[in-house]
């Protein structure tokens, strides 16, 4: 029996979720494009690019491959891919398919946003983190020496095509990293979802387990939450800022680790610490950070860091979420709800929380 395709809309982008969707991608494309360029990375390309190219054979697909890894989410990779598109003579009738995790999605999305002043992009996320978070919402970007995602653009995908069967090849560590964003969705919007994730985390983080059905439910629920938040506030003027829970310290931790930590691992630590920050400020209900830490640890994710506290605080200074010199943190009132989208926090308070780990 063929599973039905689930549909959502996120800030103007169509989302389709179905097993083996990659093989029938052409059926879901609503495009006048004559040509498709598939941008992927050196891990995902050998596994899945041939399926994508076969599915899009009528659009003369060309596959461009960037090296895998956060360290390649750079202006150099953007320039290389853009030059390759120019060398191909790709015109405005080209659609770019981003086939990969969040790194490919962010880089290929930014290439699409800037190539010939913008060509359409179809996001085909292949990691759990990208399926439930990075591919949705139209943010694209690059890392620069000053910090993560500091160069980028909003570029809403024409389609986000989620094929959960692609997770079969995802390494276990990457699966766990994706669970961090699911836990975040529970914390910011849905206490019952959080409780389910906390309970089922060991099963969900085991790729060999019978968690596949549960994983489909997780993907749908997280996609629904992220879609609702970005649709309410596509340009991050207010509500969308809650998606940054765990990310202000998380991005600093990710960069300070030299990207040795996966994005989701750094976010897991960031969520525990930012929940503690909220408790220290009296913004967040007591017990929230303990619950977040338990969920994170049950998912096999790290919950603390030994990285230098002063260095981490210094790194938050380049954070985009800054008002009048103070860094704005997205701190929940309790699991599932916010009273205010963001709270300005003095560096000294952050230092105290970091040093008390």
Site string for ligand NAD, 138-177 (x = CB under 6 A): -x--------xx----------------x--xx---x--x
**Are the C-beta atoms of residues 100 and 122 closer than 8 Å to each other?**
no
For ligand NAD, the closer CB: 10 or 327: 10
For ligand NAD, the closer CB: 101 or 186: 101
> What's the length of the chain?
357
Q: Which residues contact 319 (CB under 8 A, 6 or more apart)?
A: 147, 248, 251, 252, 327
Distance CA(295)–CA(288), nearest Å, equals: 11
The answer to whether residue 104 forms part of the interface with ligand NAD (CB under 6 A) is yes
Shortest distance, CB of residue 247 to ligand NAD, whole angstroms? 8
Burial class (CB in 10 A: 0-12, 13-18, 19+), 323: exposed
Q: Which residues contact 87 (CB under 8 A, 6 or more apart)?
A: none
Q: What are phi and psi of 283, to 5 degrees?
A: -90, -30
Nearest Cα residue to 201 out of 221, 188, 215, 213 = 215
For ligand NAD, the closer CB: 95 or 136: 136
Report, as residue numbers or ranges, the catalytic residues. Answer: 117, 139, 181, 226, 236, 240, 244, 247, 251, 263
Distance CA(111)–CA(118), nearest Å, equals: 8
The answer to whether residue 316 forms part of the interface with ligand NAD (CB under 6 A) is no
Shortest distance, CB of residue 218 to ligand NAD, whole angstroms? 15
- From 28-36, 134-142, 215-223, 279-287, give the range in contact with ligand NAD by CB under 6 A: 134-142
**Are the C-beta atoms of residues 262 and 173 closer than 8 Å to each other?**
yes
Nearest Cα residue to 252 out of 301, 343, 318 = 318
- When binding is defined by CB under 6 A, the residue of 137, 157, 234, 270 that contacts ligand NAD is 137
Shortest distance, CB of residue 45 to ligand NAD, whole angstroms? 9
For ligand NAD, the closer CB: 137 or 332: 137
For ligand NAD, the closer CB: 13 or 305: 13
- When binding is defined by CB under 6 A, the residue of 26, 62, 68, 214 that contacts ligand NAD is 68
- From 127-135, 190-198, 306-314, 344-352, give the range in contact with ligand NAD by CB under 6 A: 127-135
Instruction: Kindly state the helix (H) or strand (E) to which residue 99 belongs, with its residue range.
Output: strand 94-100
Q: What are phi and psi of 99, to 5 degrees?
A: -110, 95
Q: Which residue ranges make up the site for ligand NAD (CB under 6 A)?
A: 41, 43-44, 47, 68-70, 73, 100-104, 106, 126-127, 129-130, 133-134, 137, 139, 148-149, 166, 169-170, 174, 177, 262-264
């Amino acid at each position: 029996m063929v599973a039905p395709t689930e549909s959502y809309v996120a800030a103007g982008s169509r989302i389709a979720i179905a097993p083996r969707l990659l093989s029938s991608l052409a059926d879901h494309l609503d495009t006048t494009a004559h040509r498709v360029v598939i941008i992927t990375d050196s891990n995902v390309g050998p596994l899945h690019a041939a399926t994508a190219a076969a599915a899009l054979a009528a659009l003369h697909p060309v596959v461009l491959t960037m090296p895998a890894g956060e360290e390649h989410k750079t202006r150099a990779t953007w320039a290389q891919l853009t030059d390759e598109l120019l060398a191909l003579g790709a015109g405005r009738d080209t659609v770019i398919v981003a086939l990969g995790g969040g790194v490919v999605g962010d880089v290929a999305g930014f290439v699409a946003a800037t190539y010939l002043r913008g060509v359409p992009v179809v996001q085909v996320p292949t990691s759990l983190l990208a399926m439930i978070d990075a591919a949705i919402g139209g943010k694209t970007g690059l890392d620069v020496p000053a910090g993560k995602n500091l160069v980028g653009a909003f570029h809403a995908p024409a389609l986000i095509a989620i094929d959960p069967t692609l997770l079969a090849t995802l390494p276990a560590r990457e699966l766990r990293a994706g669970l961090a964003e699911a836990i975040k969705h529970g914390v910011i919007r849905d206490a019952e979802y959080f409780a389910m994730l906390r309970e089922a985390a060991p099963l969900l983080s085991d790729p060999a387990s019978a968690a596949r059905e549960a994983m489909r439910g997780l993907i749908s629920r997280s996609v629904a939450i992220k879609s609702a938040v970005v649709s309410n506030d596509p340009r991050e003027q207010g509500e969308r800022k809650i998606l940054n829970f765990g990310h202000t310290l998380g991005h600093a931790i990710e960069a300070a680790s030299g990207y040795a930590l996966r994005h989701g691992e750094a976010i897991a630590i960031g969520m525990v610490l930012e929940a503690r920050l909220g408790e220290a400020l009296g913004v967040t209900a007591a017990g929230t950070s303990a619950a977040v830490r338990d969920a994170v640890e049950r998912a096999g994710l790290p919950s603390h860091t030994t990285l230098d506290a002063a260095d981490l605080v210094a790194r938050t200074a380049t954070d985009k979420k800054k008002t009048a010199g103070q860094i704005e943190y997205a701190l929940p009132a309790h699991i599932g709800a916010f009273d205010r989208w963001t709270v300005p926090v003095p560096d000294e308070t952050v230092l105290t929380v970091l040093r008390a780990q």
